[in-house]
Amino acid sequence: MGMGRGVVMGLAVGCAVATCVVAAVLVGRRVKTKRKWGKVVRAMKDFEEGCLTPIGRLRQVVDAMAVEMHAGLASDGGSKLKMLLTYVDSLPDGNENGIFYGLDLGSTDFRVSRVHLGGGTIILEHEIECHSIPQHLSTCTTKDLFDFIAMTLKQFVEKEGSESESIPNKNRKLGFTFSFPLRQTSISSGTLLKWTKGFAIEDTVDKDVSECLEEAMTRTGLHMQVAALMNDTVGTLALCHYYDEDTVAAVIIGTGTNACYVERTDAIIKSQGLFTNSGGMVINLEWGSFWSSHLPRTSYDVALDEDSPSRNDQGFEKMVSSMYLGDIVRRVIRAMAEDSDLFGGGDAPNLSEPFILRMPLIVAMHEDDSADLAEVARILMETFKVFKVPLKTRRLVVRLCDVVTRRAARLVAAGIVGIMKKVGRDGSSGISGGRAKNIKTKRTVIAIEGDLYSEYTMFREYLNEAVTDILGDDIAENIILKEFDHRSSGIGSALLAAASHSSHQAYDI
């Protein structure tokens, strides 16, 4: 029996209607998706604008840094910059002799080292061991942390060769790099002001950390003397100065960030009557806590700060150091994923996990130069446990990495120029004056250490470029940024132990 004409017609109309409905749904979805993606694009634009660091703004940050340095030198608490005295008034000059030890505690890794100095900038032997600090020790008790460190140091000393074995225990001199804010009372002692970088051992605050270490060494049966206690920036400055006496400052840009520089004692107004043979002293800025309204801060920075245990503190560090950059990127991705489907419709369960996007992942994604950004996709899939990362999402994430990295690098550059301004090496006529023409600057060396600078090409290039942009080619030519690796502060601490050793006449600054 054949179908009637009416039935056929009816079916055809039905099919057409169904097709139209499907098409309408598809178009509707596409419009919705487009609208949602439009929101992401706008959010990206807003974020980019919020992170902008045009040269005018960088100059304002330069000035703010120099002004805050003055304020911090004028009185304790006069600025967010602590401008801490280090009691280092002479730096190694290459003539140091003998065997010295270094201990470097500043993040979840710590290093023990032995350096045999031969005079004439010759390092005859340098042995270094790197150990991880078990996670629980960064939040336990002072005794547990220092016992662990002392025991590791003891094991290191016991392994040494015949030459150093002949040194009686009590004559072994140790340089102790302790990379947290310290109020020093001498070159070899100082109390902890606060922990940073995720460490939180309450009973260490206000304690003399050299004493804590010496007591722990005594408990383990190791009798070594802390000859010099210093911040990692100071250790790096010491090493750079050992090779190059034009060194005036050092900067660390790693898990945390900080800088130190050589200041004239008469400029340290808060310590009236301070006298050093050299007329100078190294000052630890603790610039991680620098703050200025000129810093380009976004709502994501505010949220990161609010969620951190150190609210309203370490503001600069939270915008520039490797501990935080990945988390800024993660926060932006999370906000965008709430507005649009970034991951092909699936959930991203790990997107809410703080600090999951660590720095090496940011570097790898930013440096992925493949056409389909395969590495970016792999990292996002593994980290956030997603099944699909469309190409446009990959591109977006790379752009985010770029924006956050560029802002950080340029702000650090402004900080560096701020120090140059304070010491009169920026080609301007000082803190109150504007840019002066034809001022000749001396060759000025700044030591730089930290994974952001040494292992992240884009960061390094952005930083170098910004220093030149702010200073201009002529002045920038004389400002030399010398790169050091993570072992530098450890060697530097041994060098400072040597330089502070009474028998040696070190180079006065």
Out of 113, 184, 233, 292, the only residue in the binding site for ligand BGC (CB under 6 A) is 233
Which residues 280-299 are close enough to bind ligand BGC by CB under 6 A?
286, 288
256 binds ligand BGC (CB under 6 A): yes
Binder of ligand BGC out of 53, 152, 184, 231 (CB under 6 A): 231
Alpha-carbon distance 471 to 413, whole Å?
A: 10
Nearer to ligand BGC by C-beta: 106 or 190?
106
Choose the binding region for ligand BGC from 39-47, 109-117, 162-170, 249-257 (rule: CB under 6 A). 249-257
Tokens 């002293």: give the residue: 281
Q: Does 493 bind ligand BGC (CB under 6 A)?
A: no
User: Which position's Cβ is nearest ligand BGC?
Assistant: 256
How far is residue 31's CA from residue 124's CA, in Å, rounded to a whole number?
70
CB of 501 to ligand BGC, least distance (A): 24
**Least distance (Å) between residue 102 CB and ligand BGC:** 15
Q: How far is the CB of 310 from ligand BGC (least distance, A)?
A: 10
| From 34-42, 46-54, 230-238, 243-251, span contacting ligand BGC (CB under 6 A) | 230-238
Q: Are 29 and 341 a contacting pair, CB within 8 Å? A: no
Spatial neighbors of 187 by CB under 8 A, at least 6 apart, are: 86, 87, 88, 228, 229, 230, 496, 500
Considering beta carbons, is residue 102 or 106 the nearer one to ligand BGC? Answer: 106
Contact call for residue 230 and ligand BGC (CB under 6 A): no
The Cα–Cα gap between 108 and 75 comes to 33
Binding mask 305-334 for ligand BGC (x = CB under 6 A): ------------x-----------------
DSSP at 435? B
Q: Give SS3 for 145.
A: helix
**Residue with Cβ nearer ligand BGC (193 or 439):** 193
Site membership for ligand BGC, residue 72 (CB under 6 A): no
**In this complex, which beta carbon is closest to ligand BGC, that of residue 181 or of residue 296?**
181
Question: Which of the stretches 225-233, 235-243, 270-278, 302-310 binds ligand BGC when contact is defined by CB under 6 A?
Answer: 225-233
Stretch that binds ligand BGC, among 227-235, 243-251, 384-392, 393-401 (CB under 6 A): 227-235
Binding residue (CB under 6 A) for ligand BGC from 113, 152, 188, 258: 258
440 Cβ contact list (under 8 Å, min separation 6) = none
Which amino acid does the sequence have at 265?
T
Residues 6+ apart with CB under 8 A from 39: 339, 340
Nearest distance, CB of residue 40 and ligand BGC, angstroms: 33
Choice from 86, 196, 204, 383 touching ligand BGC (CB under 6 A) = 196
Answer for which of 145, 237, 252, 401 binds ligand BGC (CB under 6 A) is: 252
Q: Which stretch binds ligand BGC (CB under 6 A): 34-42, 174-182, 201-209, 378-386?
A: 174-182
Question: Which residue's CB is nearer to ligand BGC, number 305 or number 317?
Answer: 317
What SS3 state is found at 482?
Answer: strand
Measured from the CB of residue 485, what is the shortest distance to ligand BGC in angstroms? Answer: 14
Closest listed residue to residue 445, CA positions, set 250, 247, 238: 247
The answer to whether 463 and 251 are in contact (CB under 8 A) is no
Residue 90 CB-half CA count within 13 A: 20
Contact region for ligand BGC (CB under 6 A) — 116-124, 215-223, 252-260, 424-432?
Answer: 252-260
Q: Which residues contact 413 (CB under 8 A, 6 or more apart)?
A: 58, 462, 463, 464, 465, 466, 467, 470
Residue 113 makes contact with ligand BGC by CB under 6 A: no
State how far the alpha carbon of 501 is from the alpha carbons of 98, 187, 508, in Å.
Answer: 10, 11, 14
Applying CB under 6 A, does 181 fall inside the site for ligand BGC?
yes
Q: Residue 114 or residue 197: which is nearer to ligand BGC going by CB?
A: 197
- Considering only CA atoms, which of 168, 65, 183, 42 is closest in space to residue 431? 65
Phi, psi (deg, nearest 5) at residue 445:
-110, 135
In order of 65, 70, 139, 269, the CA distances from 423 in angstroms are 12, 11, 39, 15
Residue with smaller CB distance to ligand BGC, 192 or 365: 192
Closer CB to ligand BGC, residue 184 or residue 393?
A: 184
The vertex-69 CA angle with 194 and 489, nearest 5°, equals 55
Q: Which of 72, 92, 102, 106 binds ligand BGC (CB under 6 A)?
A: 106
Q: Which among 319, 322, 334 is positioned nearest to 393, based on CA atoms? A: 334
Q: Does 86 bind ligand BGC (CB under 6 A)?
A: no
In 3-state terms, what secondary structure has residue 115?
A: strand
Q: Are 171 and 224 in contact (CB under 8 A)?
A: no
- Give Cα 260 distance to the centre of its chain: 14
Binding residues for ligand BGC (CB under 6 A): 106, 179-181, 196-197, 231-233, 252, 254, 256-258, 286, 288, 317
